[in-house]
Chain A
């Protein structure tokens, strides 16, 4: 089977409009979450992380796009444009496009939206991106709750291994919308402060907005300094509950075990875990149980939700890219918002950003519908 690499990348978020800027902010332990007072999004002020639309407008103008695009499409175009340009890959029949999103242009359902309601069909985003960049192949949309970003990486890998494509461009994104905020609020899941994953005093999640793009390839001529090799991946269901994670961490336990088998590595080879850590009691507890069942309680672990909030269908890809820079810089980033351990099993939470030799990391995510995913990634330098 061909080796698969994650390469050129871009993150657009409240912390900045490219990966390097975002990483610098994370290194300085700056959070992109703030109080947002926007009645069009939520009836009360809330903690979240939202992309600056003035900067977006300016950056997007430089693209000189001819058509009228939704905000999400503009952000995806901008992000993908950077990655395609940097990679210098010619878009032909050997190049695929995958889009990872949970809700896409859901804001067009609002009365005030100037866009046709048909833009809410997720394939519309694929059409918009395909036409702009002149992709020769049919875009693929993955919509699998909060694991979409990671699952899309697995799907890209499989399509390259099956020789459908040589290269795949993957873009992920979800908006902070009235739709999503009202829904999570009805679950009483929104935190009234910056979220505190795995902490005793945590009070729920923050919803965030981030767009990420990446090149996935098996061709070593298209690698960057932060590129990583994808050693193994898996996805398993909890078979337990549609909105609550399994109490035994069954799906997460199984998918990490399965990814380890594919990667053919031992637990002691994992240097770092980039976990899901939404800061809800049930999620954090489930992860602690699963990681203890795996014997991973002493591996340094963080959640990046304290920097970005929960960016839904984009979170898996955004956090994987941050992990790539962690390896490149041999730096463990502090798990922002952590105070004191609030789960029933031990975890090695990274409390201070520090230098450490890093070679392999594990990225996990879990989501509604009982889904869990895991990736094992190795530095190539």
Chain B
């Protein structure tokens, strides 16, 4: 018989709010993402200077993941990461494009270009939490719980991972939306497509 998996923890970052398991842990009315995420970082007593070098998508994904993973003590744990969004890395793509538009004002930078891939944010999470595990990044028009569910179930059933951190992290033209959740054997919520959908929509 297949083991049953559960959603242990989940987090949202949207509309100036950072919440854990449905409870708001930080709130800032400011509309501007970069100010909001910096205040959120300070509110959580994080000490990770690299955070300030990240692009918007990475800051968003990193913050959401950190809220979930900091309670995980064993850094060598095999936690796979499966993320998805609509805009890929377009926010940073547009910045790199801006730097190459004009041959008289040409300033492409490696520190911007490296973030023109959506999976870089997974790399940032892996570095901080020392995760040598499986990662994948998928692009969809909309949040796709069916696909996240099947990928996660497969990784856990085949023991390619002990836990899976998955969800949606989208940053596009100053709009942001993050919903991450951790699936494992322990937890109070069933890992079903219906439950994932409900948690995504809550708030």
In the complex, B167 has a CB within 8 A of chain A: no
Contact flag A371-B93 (CB < 8 Å), given A141-B140, A158-B151, A235-B136 = no
A179: chain B residues within 8 A (beta carbon): 93, 96-97, 100, 116
Contact B127 A240 (CB under 8 A): yes
Additional A-B contacts beyond A178-B100, A239-B130 (14; CB < 8 A): A140-B147, A143-B88, A143-B137, A144-B119, A162-B154, A179-B116, A186-B110, A239-B132, A241-B127, A242-B123, A250-B132, A369-B117, A369-B120, A371-B122
A121-161: CB near B (< 8 Å → 1, else 0) gives 11100000000000000101111110000010001001101
A243 with B137, Cβ < 8 A, contacts A161-B154, A164-B150, A182-B100 known: no
**CB 8 Å contact bits of A262-305 with B (1 = contact, 0 = none):** 00000000000000000000000000000000000000000000
Q: B184 CB to closest chain A CB, in angstroms?
A: 19
Q: Determine whether the beta carbon of B96 is less than 8 Å from that of A183.
A: yes
Contacts of A104 in B (CB 8 A): 88
Q: A179-B93, A242-B127, A369-B119 are in contact. Are A234 and B134 (CB under 8 A)?
A: yes
- Provide the residues of chain B in CB contact with A31, threshold 8 Å: none
Separation of A243 and B54 alpha carbons in the complex (Å): 13
- Sorting the interface of chain A by its residue count into under 10, 10 to 19, 20 to 34 or 35 or more gives 35 or more
Q: For the complex, what is the distance from the CA of A120 to the CA of B87, rounded to whole Å?
A: 9
Q: Given the known inter-chain contacts A179-B97, A179-B100, A242-B124, please indicate yes or no for A142 contacting B132, CB distance below 8 A.
A: no
A215 to B114, CA, bound (A): 32
Which partner residue on chain B sits nearest A184 by CB separation? B113
Closest to A242 in B: B123
In the bound complex, do residue A145 and residue B131 qualify as a contact, i.e. CB atoms below 8 Å apart? no
Count how many chain B residues have C-beta atoms less than 8 Å from C-beta atoms of the other chain: 48
**Once the chains bind, are A122 and B88 in contact (CB under 8 Å)?**
yes
State whether the Cβ of B182 lies closer than 8 Å to any Cβ in chain A.
no
Q: Is the interface of B mostly helix, strand, loop or mixed?
A: mixed
Set B123, B137, B160: member contacting A142, Cβ < 8 A: B137
> A144–B136 contact, CB under 8 A?
yes
In the complex, chain B residues whose CB is within 8 Å of the CB of A106: 93
Question: Which of chain B's residues have a CB closer than 8 A to the CB of A197?
Answer: none
Is B8 at the interface (CB under 8 A from chain A)? no
Tell me, in angstroms, the Cα distance from A162 to B151 when the chains sit together: 9
- A93 and B140 CA atoms in complex are apart in Å by 19
Q: Which residues between 336 and 381 of chain A lie within 8 Å of chain B, taking CB atoms?
A: 367-371
8 Å CB interface, B83-122 against A = 86-88, 90, 93-94, 96-97, 99-101, 103, 106, 108-110, 113-114, 116-120, 122
- Cβ–Cβ < 8 Å partners of A241 in chain B: 123, 127
15 pairs from A and B in contact (CB 8 Å cutoff): A103-B116, A121-B141, A140-B138, A140-B147, A143-B118, A155-B151, A159-B150, A183-B96, A235-B134, A236-B133, A239-B130, A242-B114, A243-B114, A258-B160, A369-B122
Verify A235–B135 contact, CB threshold 8 A.
yes
The verdict on A48 contacting chain B, using a C-beta distance below 8 Å, is no
Residue of B with least CB distance to A188: B110
Instruction: Name the contact of A237 in the complex, choosing from B110, B117, B123 (C-beta under 8 A).
Output: B123
Check A123 against B136 for contact (C-beta < 8 Å).
Answer: no
Q: Which 10 A-B pairs have the closest CB atoms?
A: A369-B123, A183-B113, A141-B139, A237-B126, A186-B108, A122-B139, A369-B119, A182-B108, A239-B126, A370-B123
A183-B116, A242-B123 known; A151 vs B136 contact (CB < 8 Å): yes
CA A237 to CA B125, docked complex, whole Å = 10
Chain A interface (Cβ within 8 Å of chain B)? Answer: 43, 102-104, 106, 109-111, 120-123, 138, 140-145, 151, 155, 158-159, 161-162, 164, 178-179, 182-187, 234-243, 250-251, 254, 258, 367-371
Contacts of A240 in B (CB 8 A): 127
The answer to whether B113 and A370 touch across the interface, beta carbons within 8 angstroms, is: no
Q: Is the CB of A371 within 8 A of B123?
A: yes
Q: Give the contacting residue for B132; candidates A151, A162, A164, A254; CB below 8 A.
A: A254
**Which residues of chain A come closer than 8 Å to B117, judged between CB atoms?**
102, 143-145, 367-369
A370 to B136, Cβ gap below 8 A? no
Given contacts A145-B119, A161-B154, contact A187 B87 (CB under 8 A): no
Complex: A43 Cα to B100 Cα, angstroms: 11
* B93 & A237 in contact (Cβ 8 Å cutoff): no
Residues B110 and A144 in contact, CB atoms below 8 Å apart: no
Residues of A within 8 A of B96 (CB): 179, 182-183
Supposing A102-B117, A122-B88, A143-B118 touch, asked if A187 and B110 sit within 8 A by C-beta, the answer is yes
Q: Are A183 and B108 in contact (CB under 8 A)?
A: yes
Chain A positions within 8 Å of B137 at CB level: 142-144
Q: B101 to chain A: which residues have CB within 8 Å?
A: 111
Q: Are A237 and B135 in contact (CB under 8 A)?
A: yes
How close is A96's CB to chain B, nearest CB, in angstroms?
11
Choose from B86, B99, B116, B119 the contact partner of A371 (Cβ within 8 Å).
B119
Residues of chain A within 8 A of B132, CB atoms compared? 236-239, 250-251, 254
Whole-angstrom CA separation of A253 from B131 in the bound complex: 14
